[in-house]
């Protein structure tokens, strides 16, 4: 089976996927998809859609020209990205992951609503907010003091704000957004804002591109570091898991998060808790039945009893060197090889559009 992968030629994701394939895959650049260039993809082709991220040229096409680290442009990014997905859907190729489902996973509001409607545990969402003032009103009305505010179309912690308030007007926002002199930009360093004015500026910068707001779930921790799990579900089976621990409320690995000790987490959860954790992730992935792979961010509450899905990631399988859980069909295989095997064995719901 020769596969075409849509991504950024030469980047890590494409190379790792290519290494997992029996024969070298064809690579189609996202920039060509977005520019409307000829793709040479048609019925009979098998296509893996990967991330357009980490490519300044693709970003310029998606959001418009400018500093790739700048904040904002999420709404335009999403409109262009989904138009590109529609183009891929229209090729008639066999797609390993469904463009419509990818589009839902890149809208945190729709993703949350879909999971909630399916009975998958998720943090409670606040009604839609369009400004800082409205956010504060909604938090007061709901009696909620701690929330996660997320740019609706963000990823890699871009536009994520962990916000808490306390009586007496105290407020504290932790975020990867740096409000620098040349405008707000996404940073690898976490910033803290503790004045209402600064937090208002931050939220109002993010709001025009759409916000998803949900309750902040206090996370279980190991060695004083809060953690969550990234669980990769392939063809319906939770096959790969990593623990992400961080000194920050966001556990994303590029923000100072680190892989933690899965054995310690399994011990803390106990056998039943661990099984339940994987079941929740499989239930979340089942909301995307036409996606060969879904990367689930699983929040584990303090006390190790409660779970909630933080989000589902369409491109959440970049976990180099991680092999599948013992006893699963991906045992000993990395995330890419496991997907190639699942697709070859036909147990994947490879979708035809």
The entry of Mg ion, ligand ADP, none that residue 251 binds, CB within 5 to 8 Å by partner kind: ligand ADP
User: Considering CB under 6 A, how many residues would be counted as binding ligand ADP?
Assistant: 22
Q: By CB under 6 A, is residue 155 in contact with ligand ADP? A: yes
Please, which residue, 39 or 104, has the CB nearer to ligand ADP?
Answer: 104
Q: By CB under 6 A, is residue 217 in contact with ligand ADP? A: yes
- CA-CA distance, 215 to 217, in Å (whole number)? 6
Which residues in 294-306 are b (16+ Cβ under 10 Å) and which e? bbbbbbbeeebee
Bridge-based pairing of strands 351-352 and 3-7 is: unpaired
Please, which residue, 126 or 160, has the CB nearer to ligand ADP?
Answer: 160
Run of H or E residues at 236: none
| Helix, strand, coil abundance in the chain, percent, nearest 5 | 35, 30, 35
The residues in 304-323 that bind ligand ADP, with binding defined as CB under 6 A, are 310-311
Q: Tell me how far, at minimum, the Cβ of 70 lies from ligand ADP, in Å.
A: 16
Please, which residue, 193 or 342, has the CB nearer to ligand ADP?
Answer: 193
- Answer for which of 27, 126, 157, 206 binds ligand ADP (CB under 6 A) is 157
Q: By CB under 6 A, is residue 120 in contact with ligand ADP? A: no
Please, which residue, 231 or 348, has the CB nearer to Mg ion?
Answer: 231
Q: By CB under 6 A, is residue 51 in contact with ligand ADP? A: no
- Answer for which of 72, 99, 123, 210 binds ligand ADP (CB under 6 A) is 123
Maximum Cα–Cα distance across the chain: 64
Report yes or no: 170 and 159 within 8 Å, Cβ to Cβ: no
Q: Which alpha helices (DSSP H) does the chain contain, by range?
A: 12-20, 30-35, 56-63, 74-89, 99-105, 108-117, 132-142, 196-206, 262-286, 335-344
Residue found under tokens 């994947």: 348
- Answer for which of 214, 297, 317, 334 binds Mg ion (CB under 5 A) is 297
Residues found in the chain? 353
Please, which residue, 136 or 288, has the CB nearer to Mg ion?
Answer: 288
**Residues at the site binding Mg ion, with contacts judged by CB under 5 A:** 297
């Amino acid at each position: 089976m020769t596969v075409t992968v849509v991504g950024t030629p030469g980047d890590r994701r494409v190379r790792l996927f290519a290494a997992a394939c029996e024969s070298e895959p064809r690579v189609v650049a996202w920039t060509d998809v977005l520019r409307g260039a000829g793709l040479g993809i048609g019925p009979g082709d098998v296509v893996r859609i990967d991330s357009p991220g980490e490519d300044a040229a693709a970003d310029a096409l998606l959001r418009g020209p400018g500093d790739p680290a700048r904040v904002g442009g999420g709404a335009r990014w999403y409109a262009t990205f989904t138009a590109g997905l529609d183009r891929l859907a229209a090729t008639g190729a066999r797609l390993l992951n469904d463009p419509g489902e990818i589009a839902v996973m890149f809208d945190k509001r729709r993703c949350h609503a879909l999971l909630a409607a399916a009975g998958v545990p998720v943090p409670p969402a606040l009604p839609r907010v369009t400004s800082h003032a409205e956010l504060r009103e909604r938090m007061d009305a709901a009696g909620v003091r701690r929330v996660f505010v997320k740019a609706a179309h963000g990823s890699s912690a871009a536009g994520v704000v962990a916000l808490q308030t306390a009586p007496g007007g105290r407020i504290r926002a932790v975020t990867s957004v740096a409000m620098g002199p040349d405008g707000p930009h996404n940073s690898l360093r976490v910033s803290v804002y503790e004045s209402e004015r600064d937090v208002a500026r931050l939220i109002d910068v993010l709001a025009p591109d759409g916000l998803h707001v949900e309750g902040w779930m206090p996370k279980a921790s190991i060695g004083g570091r809060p953690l969550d799990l990234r669980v990769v579900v392939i063809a319906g089976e939770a096959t790969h898991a990593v623990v992400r621990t961080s000194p920050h409320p966001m556990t994303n690995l590029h923000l100072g998060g680190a892989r933690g000790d899965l054995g310690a987490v399994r011990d803390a959860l106990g056998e039943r808790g661990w099984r339940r954790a994987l079941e929740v992730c499989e239930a979340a992935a089942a909301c995307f039945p036409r996606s060969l792979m879904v990367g689930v961010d699983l929040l584990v509450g303090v006390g190790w009893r409660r779970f909630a899905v933080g989000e589902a990631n369409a491109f959440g399988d970049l976990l180099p060197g991680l092999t599948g859980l013992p006893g699963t069909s991906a045992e000993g295989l990395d995330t890419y090889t496991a997907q190639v095997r699942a697709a070859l064995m036909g147990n994947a719901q490879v979708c035809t559009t």
